Structure formats: C-alpha cells, structure tokens
Structure 1
Amino acid sequence: MPEIDRIDRLILRRLQAEGRLSNADVAKAVNVSPATCHRRTQRLFDEGHVTGVHARVNPESVGLGTLVMVGVVLDRSTPESFAAFEAAVVGMKELLDCQLVAGDFDYLLRIRVRDMGDFNALHGKMLIALPGVRQIRTFFVLKDVKNNAPLPF
C-alpha cells in the first residue's frame, strides 16, 4: 500500500470529522482543487485507507441506551476453539464489537441493549451458550466519557 502524504492525511482528517462534506468543501478545507481532491479521495477508498462512511445513530433514541462490556474466557486456547467462538458471535445483532485480546480475557465484547433485563435475557440465552465459554465478566457502562474518537494521525 503506498504511503499517504500530508494532503492525504488532511483529507482523511476532514472525512473523519464529517463524512458528509461535499468534495468541494473537502478540497477547500485542504487547499487543493476539487479534481485533485476527488482523485485523492477515490484512491484513499480504493487502497483501503477509508473503509466506509457511516451515520452515528444516538443509541438512546433507538431504545438501546445500555452499553455493556463483556470479558470472555474460553476453556481452551486452541485455533479450533477460537474459530468456533468467532463464528458464533458474528451473527449476534446486539454485538457491536468483538476483539481477541491479550490479558485476563480471551475476548472483549461491546454490546448494546435496551436495559439490564434485556441483557439478562441475552446472557441467559446466548452468551453462556457460546462455544467454549468458561467464564464471562460483565461491566455495565455508567457513562460514555469518550467514544468513537477520530484516529490520532
């Protein structure tokens, strides 16, 4: 993948801050012509530097005001047990993120639900039934202090 230069970084920062800006507005902000900006922006998408442009939906307004972090420990640390767990969680619509981590847990999950009762049902029906799960530690988020911050480059 080719290196990104100063202009590319400026374009990426503008897109991170507001993905709905027009090409003309981005070009003006980074001080290049609209044609140059369009060409560079298209290259940034084509090379995989930008993976998408998305709206940030307010979780409260759609009835998903409870954020839960879940640490998962599997009973075995084998490629097969990791693959089975990962295949099972991919289809969970409540699951926002799943990362394989080093430390006390094998996986860290970020889940959005309506409330604690909703999470209790999810825990009883889905989480404890995931393949290879030995232990689950649950952390209810009391307040989002910083969320979805732009990448610091």
Structure 2
Amino acid sequence: MSEEPFTSGLDRIDRNILRALQKDARIANSDLARLVNVSAATCHRRTQRLLENRFISSVRAQIAPAGVGLGTLVMVGVVLDRSTPESFAEFEKVVGGMKEVLDCNLVAGDFDYLLKIRTRDMEGFNVLHGKKLITLPGVRQIRTFFVLKEVKDNAPLAF
C-alpha cells in the first residue's frame, strides 16, 4: 500500500488515526498519539481537523441489539410502482422517519430499495409489516428476508 497522500488530503498519519478510531473511538488522545507516533497536541489538532472536514461522520456507541430487545434482523427489498424522482423522494421521506429502519439504500437490481430493520421478534415484524411497510407510499412489492446469522456487521472501512 502506498504511503502517498490520497487525493482527498489524507496522509499516512491521518489514515492511521482514522483506523485506530474505528477500532476504539474511546481511546485517549495521549494513547492515540503514541500509537500513530506524533505528539499529543499534533494528534488532537489532526483529529479535530478530521472531524471538521467530515472524514469522521459521527462518534457513538454500538449497542448490542439483543441486549435492548431487538434481536431480530430483517432485510426488506422494496419495489416501487413508479420510478420517478417524486415517488423516490416521497418514499425516502417516510422511511427516513421510521425508527425501526436502520438503513435504507437505493439499489440497482431486483429492488428499488433495500431496508435493514430490527424488531423484537417475528411477531413484532409482522405488526410493523401490517401497519407501516405495506402502507409506504408507492410500494408495489415487498420481499422479506429474515437474517438467520450475522456473519459480519458494521466492519471498519478498509482504506
């Protein structure tokens, strides 16, 4: 892997800071500085610049879903009845406000959107399906996939 800066302005130290923060965002600045081989002041300045320039989109805790009663993971493929900017915008607005939907992605292929949803159990999903999913604007078809095993989830970005 080249140690030259990316065109985005990240150098080797920036990339190392980002990699370390992906593993543990709670790391103390002094420990992070030692890990990437710069002074604590330089490390702090660089980390602040990475935040300000939005190379870091957020810092948050990753909650264990089963621990908060949301152990069922469901992937839902959605096909809209029309492929217009207005129908996409309306769908996205409504889905954006649904707390059960963790991810919503416009995709190419058999579906228009792929949703990642967490519920307590199959019964909880059945209620969500009957009350909200089938009433989403412009939906022609919904295909549901219950996840049997999460093999890899929210892996760090490789760069």
Query: Is TM (by shorter chain) over 0.5?
Result: yes
Alignment partner for residue 72 of structure 1, among 57, 75, 78? 78
Shift of 1:2: 4.7
In the alignment, structure 1 residue 50 sits paired with structure 2 residue 56: yes
* Cα distance between partner residues in 1 of 2:75 and 2:128: 13
Q: Which residue of 1 is the match for residue 151 of structure 2?
A: 145
Counting only pairs closer than 5 Å after superposition, residues 1-16 of structure 1 correspond to structure 2 as 2-16=8-22
Q: Match of 2:121?
A: 115
- String of CA shifts for 1:83-125, please: whole Å, max 9, x gaps: 0100111110111000001111000000000000000000000
Establish whether residue 83 from structure 1 lines up as the match of residue 89 from structure 2: yes
* Distance apart, 1:52 and its partner CA: 1.0
How far, CA to CA, are the matches of 1:23 and 1:52 in structure 2?
A: 17
Query: Is the partner of 1:67 in helix, strand or coil?
Result: strand
Q: Could you say which residue in structure 1 is the equivalent of 2:4?
A: none
One-letter identity of the residue aligned with 2:41: A
**d(CA) in 2 for partners of 1:57, 1:77:** 36
Distance 2:122 2:53 in 1: 42
Equivalent residue, structure 2, for 1:23: 29
Tell me the equivalent position of 1:104: 110
TM-score, structure 2 normalization = 0.95
Q: Does residue 36 of structure 1 match 2:42? A: yes
What amino acid is the match of 2:25?
G
1:81 deviates by 0.2
Query: Is the partner of 1:51 in helix, strand or coil?
Result: coil
Identity %: 70
Tell me the alpha carbon deviations over residues 42-66 of structure 1, each in whole angstroms, 9 at most, x when there is no partner. 0000000001111111100100000
Q: Which residue of 2 aligns with 1:132?
A: 138
Secondary structure, in 3 states, of the residue corresponding to 1:64?
A: coil
**Whole-Å separation in 2 of the counterparts to 1:14 and 1:53:** 13
RMSD: 0.9
Runs of 4+ in 1 over 2 A off after TM superposition: none
